[in-house]
Amino acid sequence: MNRLAAKIKESRISAGLTEKQLAKKCGLSINYIIQVESGKKIVNESVADKILNALGTKEEFVTEERVVEKPKKTKAIMPQGTIPVEPNQTWADALAGVIKKYPIYDLYNNKIVGYKDLPIISKKIEGHHPDKIMFVKCSNNDMKAFRIKKGDVLTALVTKDIQNHCIYLFEMDGSKMVRQLTKESNKKVTLLKCTNDSSATTVAMSKVKILGKIIKNEFSI
C-alpha cells in the first residue's frame, strides 16, 4: 500500500466513514474507493485532492516508487596471478529459477533500451505471474498530468480487459501509447491524457488493442 492510499484509509476511519459513505461524499463508486485504499488504483492529483478534501485533510501527492540511479561500475583490478572466472551456463541455468531478466521497450519505437533483473518469489514477480508483466519506457510527456513523464519506466500487467479510469498500454493505428481509458455503453472507449475533459478522445473499441494495465511507475532522481 502506498503512502497516499494509507493516508486516505486512515483519514476515512478517523472520520468514522465507511467506504460507501466516502464514495457518496466524493461522487465516486465504492469499488473505486476500495481500489484506491488498497493501492491498486493509480489516481491523478485532482481525484486525490477531491477525496482528501472530503476527509478534511491534505497530503503530498507522491506515490511513485523513487529509484535512485546507481553509480557507474568501475572495472576491478585483479591481483597479479589471479585468473578471472566467467559465469558459465550452469550458473545461468541456476539463476534462471530465481531471477528473470526483462527487456525494457521504448514506447515510441519499440526498441529495447535496457533490462530489469527481478527476483522470482513464490513463483511470482511483484505478486504476478512472471509471464504477465512487461516494461516500457515513456518517450514523451503526454501523460504528465498523471505524473508520468519522459524517461519513466512503466510496469504493465498483461491483460485485454478494461477497468474504467485506469491507465493502460495499448496499440492504436499502428502506434503504442499510454492513456487513461473509460468504456462507454455504445462499444466505444474514451482516451484521456490530461485531467480535464478537453483532452478526451472517443473511438470505437475495435480500434484499440489493449496490451496491459499500468500498475507501477518508476522514475529516476
| CATH code, 3-63 | 1.10.260.40
Across the chain, mean pLDDT equals 80
Tell me the pairing of strands 112-119 and 99-106. antiparallel
Percentage of the chain beyond pLDDT 90 is 25
Q: Reply yes or no on whether the pLDDT at 100 is more than 70.
A: yes
The residue ranges of every structural domain in the chain are: 3-63, 89-220
Over residues 145-171, the pLDDT tens digits come to 888 889 999 999 999 989 888 999 999
Task: Tell me if the domain spanning 89-220 has CATH number 3.30.450.20.
Answer: no
Distance, in Å, from the CA atom of 150 to the CA atom of 98, rounded to the nearest integer, reads 31
The model carries a pTM of 0.56
Q: Is-contact 211 170, C-beta < 8 A?
A: yes
* pLDDT category of residue 40 using cuts at 50, 70 and 90: confident
Per residue, what are the HEC states of the chain? CCHHHHHHHHHHHHCCCCHHHHHHHHCCCHHHHHHHHHCCCCCCHHHHHHHHHHCCCCCCCCCCEEECCCCCCCCCCCCCCCCCCCCCHHHHHHHHCCEEEEEEEECCCCCEEEEEEEECECCEECCECHHHEEEEECCCCCCHHHCCCCCCEEEEEECCCCCCCEEEEEEECCEEEEEEEEECCCCEEEEECCCCHHHCEEEEHHHCEEEEEEEEEEEEC
What phi and psi values does residue 108 have, to the nearest 5 degrees?
-80, -50
Distance, in Å, from the CA atom of 19 to the CA atom of 30, rounded to the nearest integer, reads 6
Q: Reply yes or no on whether the pLDDT at 198 is more than 90.
A: no
